Amino acid sequence: MGTLVGMATPRTTPSRPDGLTLEVVELIGAVVARYHEEYEEAAAEHALTGAQARLLSLLSLEPLPMRRLAQRLKCEPSNVTGIVDRLEARGLVERRPDPADRRVKLAAATDEGRRVARGLQESLRFARAPLAGLSDPERVALRDALRRMLGIEDG
């Protein structure tokens, strides 16, 4: 994995960040805060909490066992059980046996759950207008820089 041009490697990171690094960190924080705020608003438009929306979004991609959901959401399995219970009561999620191991229960989005998850994604307006103001090469550069920062291989 390469480093961003001008970024220090972990071995050479100065003890005191430079002004540019501080500004970038502050801007990333502002982006994250704005994203979370809009995500919560979009979830509320669909009568969901943020946690319910995140879980439903994950399950719209693939059925998952409770333990894996808890890992992905970075919370306790008992919390996931409560969230799944509430989504199941609304007909958005169902529990089913894992075909590979019938002792394991998978949580899976129902057709209605997948429809709501699509609506949630479509209602997330964050960054669409600002990103549309960037050229394709600028968006590619931004995407690639974010991937490198997160250690995501090109794919």
pLDDT in tens, the chain (155 residues): 444 444 445 555 557 889 999 999 999 999 888 888 888 998 999 999 999 999 999 999 999 999 999 999 999 989 999 999 999 999 999 999 999 998 889 999 999 999 999 999 888 877 777 788 899 999 999 999 999 998 988 65
Q: DSSP label at 42?
A: H
pLDDT number for residue 5: 46
Interatomic CA distance for residues 9 and 21, integer angstroms: 13
Interatomic CA distance for residues 43 and 36, integer angstroms: 10
pLDDT number for residue 24: 92
What element of type H or E holds 145?
A: helix 136-150
pLDDT number for residue 155: 57
Dihedral sign from CA coordinates of 40, 44, 49, 52: negative
Lookup result for tokens 């990333």: 28
Strands (E), 1-155: 64-65, 93-98, 101-109
**Residue 105 corresponds to which tokens in the numbers above?**
């229960």
Cβ(46)–Cβ(118) below 8 Å: no
- Give CA 38 to chain center in angstroms: 13
Interatomic CA distance for residues 147 and 1, integer angstroms: 10
What region does 16 belong to: left with phi over 0, alpha with psi -120 to 50, or beta? beta
pLDDT number for residue 53: 95
Buried b (16+ CB within 10 A) or exposed e, 99-120: eeeeeeebbbbbeebbebbeeb
pLDDT number for residue 102: 86
